[in-house]
């Protein structure tokens, strides 16, 4: 039997409950997946786990799901305690970073403003939708937090000192990125790299760990994917 489609549901999930899907999910169920009343779907969130549900009412802009049995309990250790900090990119590249970071299990994503970054307006709701759809696809139970963009210097000033921040730097003599077992974060700069002034600011913080991704100059979105994979390779 084919696996039920998965939908993120932030509302509480429990056996016997009834969940009303928002219009965009109802449209996806009815118009995209062409499901009908009686079809099975799976609903999930980090707090309650994943549950089997059945469509009991359906219109193009509204759907109601009756909750039955739990498929998976909450898994607090499912997501590694990794964060991603990345300089804003063009829209398509930013979308890719959000999607792939979610698939790779990051707990939080922090877009930052840098001197050579792209100053495009950021639609946080849209980025959260991309992350949610990626979580539904990759079968994780949580959706990463996505913070509003802020200047890199402001983020560094408020950084928790106990969390190493691995900065992927290019054309700089530093060790390769190595796996980290505990809480950590990865910093990816903009296309063109950090300015000398920004590098000086980075080096002033003791929690920062300069690292290289190798001899080739990677696009920022490629560097984010490769860096996250290397950081959690031990898992």
CATH 2.40.240.20 residue window(s) in the chain? 5-72
Per-residue confidence (pLDDT) for residue 87, from 0 to 100: 94
Per-residue confidence (pLDDT) for residue 120, from 0 to 100: 67
7, 41 Cβ separation under 8 angstroms: yes
Per-residue confidence (pLDDT) for residue 1, from 0 to 100: 40
5-72 maps to which CATH number? 2.40.240.20
Q: Which of 203, 213, 208, 204 lies closest to 233 in space, CA to CA?
A: 213
Going through the chain in order, the beta strands assigned E by DSSP cover 5-8, 18-21, 40-45, 49-59, 62-72, 82-87, 108-113, 145-146, 150-151, 165-168, 184-188, 208-211
CATH 3.40.1280.10 residue window(s) in the chain? 82-231
149, 119 Cβ separation under 8 angstroms: no
Q: Give the separation between CA 226 and CA 60, rounded to whole angstroms.
A: 40
Pairing mode, strands 145-146 and 108-113: parallel
Read off the pLDDT of residues 80-115 as tens digits, 9 standing for 90 and up.
789 999 999 999 999 999 999 999 999 999 999 999
Low-confidence ranges of the chain (pLDDT < 50): 1
Q: Give the separation between CA 212 and CA 143, rounded to whole angstroms.
A: 28
Burial (CB count <10 Å: 0-12, 13-18, 19+), residue 220: buried
Per-residue confidence (pLDDT) for residue 180, from 0 to 100: 85
Is 82-231 assigned to CATH 3.40.50.300?
no
Per-residue confidence (pLDDT) for residue 232, from 0 to 100: 85
Per-residue confidence (pLDDT) for residue 3, from 0 to 100: 63
């Amino acid at each position: 039997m084919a696996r039920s489609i998965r939908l993120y549901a932030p509302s509480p999930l429990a056996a016997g409950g009834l969940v009303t899907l928002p219009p965009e999910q109802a449209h996806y169920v009815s118009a995209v997946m062409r499901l009908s009343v009686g079809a099975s779907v799976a609903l999930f969130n980090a707090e309650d786990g994943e549950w089997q549900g059945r469509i009991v009412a359906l219109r193009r802009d509204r759907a109601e799901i009756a909750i039955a049995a739990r498929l998976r309990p909450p898994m607090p250790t499912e997501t590694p305690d990794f964060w991603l900090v990345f300089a804003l990119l063009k829209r398509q590249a930013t979308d890719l970073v959000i999607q792939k970071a979610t698939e790779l299990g990051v707990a939080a994503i922090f877009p930052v403003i840098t001197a050579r970054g792209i100053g495009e307006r950021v639609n946080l709701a849209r980025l959260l939708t991309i992350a949610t759809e990626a979580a539904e696809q990759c079968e994780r139970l949580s959706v990463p937090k996505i913070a509003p963009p802020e200047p890199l210097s402001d983020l560094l000033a408020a950084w928790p000192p106990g969390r190493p921040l691995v900065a992927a730097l290019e054309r700089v003599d530093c060790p390769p990125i190595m796996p980290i077992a505990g809480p950590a974060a990865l910093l990816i700069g903009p296309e063109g790299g950090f300015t000398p002034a920004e590098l000086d600011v980075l080096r002033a913080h003791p929690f920062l760990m300069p690292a290289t991704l190798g001899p080739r100059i990677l696009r920022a979105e490629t560097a984010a994917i490769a860096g996250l994979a290397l950081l959690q390779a031990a898992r």
